[in-house]
Amino acid sequence: MSAPASCSALWASSRPVRATQPALQQPGAAQAGRRDRLAVARAGKQQDAAVVEPPAATPTPQQQHQGDPASLAASRRYLSLLPPFLGRATDLEELSPGRLWALTQPLKLDWQAFDIRLRMVVARLPDGNMLVVSPIAPTQEALAQLAQLGGAVRHVVLPSSSPEHWFYGPALCAAFPDAAVWAVPGLLEGKGLPFPFFQQYMGGVKPRCRVLGVDPLPAELQGQIETEVLTAPFFIEAAVILPQHGALLLADTGFCMSAAEYGHLGAGNIKAAKKVGVWDRLGPITKVVFDKCPEQGRAWVDAILARQTWDTVVPAHATAPIRDGRAAFKACFDFLYQ
């Protein structure tokens, strides 16, 4: 397999949304052509489909609170069992103009310099509504940013049994009562990491929960989402592929700390990141899972690489996106084939 790809070379730095920000690379020309032909073939059946207009420009939450730091702080206040415990800012980044975004919040204690972050990806569906993957805390600021994008949230994906990727699901879904919830197999039965009062906590969204890879996708998600599920003791993760955006979303299986973004950290943190193989490259932060289940791991990696509908990796933590994603993903899991 190929040598590790440098995250510094591949990373597009987070910044406020701009129309000139580079879009996600799309899959190869042959794949794009295939999708175009499929789109033409479907055109006769979709003449009545809604034409999605880009939302009118509206002030960002930061602009709305400009000159009023107390109001901005209030919009970020959120009590949580996950750090930071009292509140968090939300950064909105446009990954593909008018089509794909990342909303990122800190995931660290207030006094820590090392922030692994938590990233929710929002994709616009052909009907103008939204699909979100890996919910973040629904602060007033985050909800305002979602509203700014236009379109209603209709589908929420809980891609992992790791608590940070489902913990905010019930609260976010409370803001979008018409949204369907998609969970990895076994999550609703509590097969992930033990969590006190899990069944009671998830009880409010269970009636509208469906299972990824088990329940059939509705018409509006056909061709919009693909998943490959990895199941191991106390660990379940679905790699989520968004074919129309050429993106592979990873919850915990891939992790990159680019030197450009994390170079301010102390020598000890950098040394530790290099030791586990995530410094300036996409690395397997959950390597222990793959070491215990190498056959399942190889099958999962092979199934993802067999899909030609993605070439950019968007991890839910730390640095993202990683543009030359296929090379980085292959290098990440080289150890499974040695």
pLDDT digits (tens, 9 = 90+) for 167-195: 999 999 999 999 999 999 999 888 877 78
Q: What pLDDT does 67 receive?
A: 66
The whole-number pLDDT of residue 255 equals 97
- pTM of structure: 0.84
Domain ranges across the chain: 7-12+70-337
pLDDT at 62: 63
The runs of H, that is alpha helices, within the chain are 7-10, 29-43, 61-64, 69-75, 140-149, 169-175, 198-202, 259-262, 267-275, 287-292, 294-306, 325-332
Q: What is the pLDDT of residue 64?
A: 67
The domain 7-12+70-337: what is its CATH number?
3.60.15.10
294's CB contacts (< 8 A; 6+ apart) are 336
Can you list the residues of the chain whose pLDDT is less than 70?
1-67
Q: Please list, in sequence order, all residues whose beta carbon lies within 8 angstroms of the beta carbon of residue 335, skipping any fewer than 6 positions away.
A: 284, 287, 290
Which pair of structure tokens corresponds to residue 191?
């097969």
Q: What is the dihedral of CA 256, 107, 140, 176, to 10 degrees?
A: 70
Instruction: Tell me what pLDDT residue 48 has.
Output: 41
| Amino acid 233: pLDDT | 85
Cα angle 276, 281, 287; round to 5 = 35
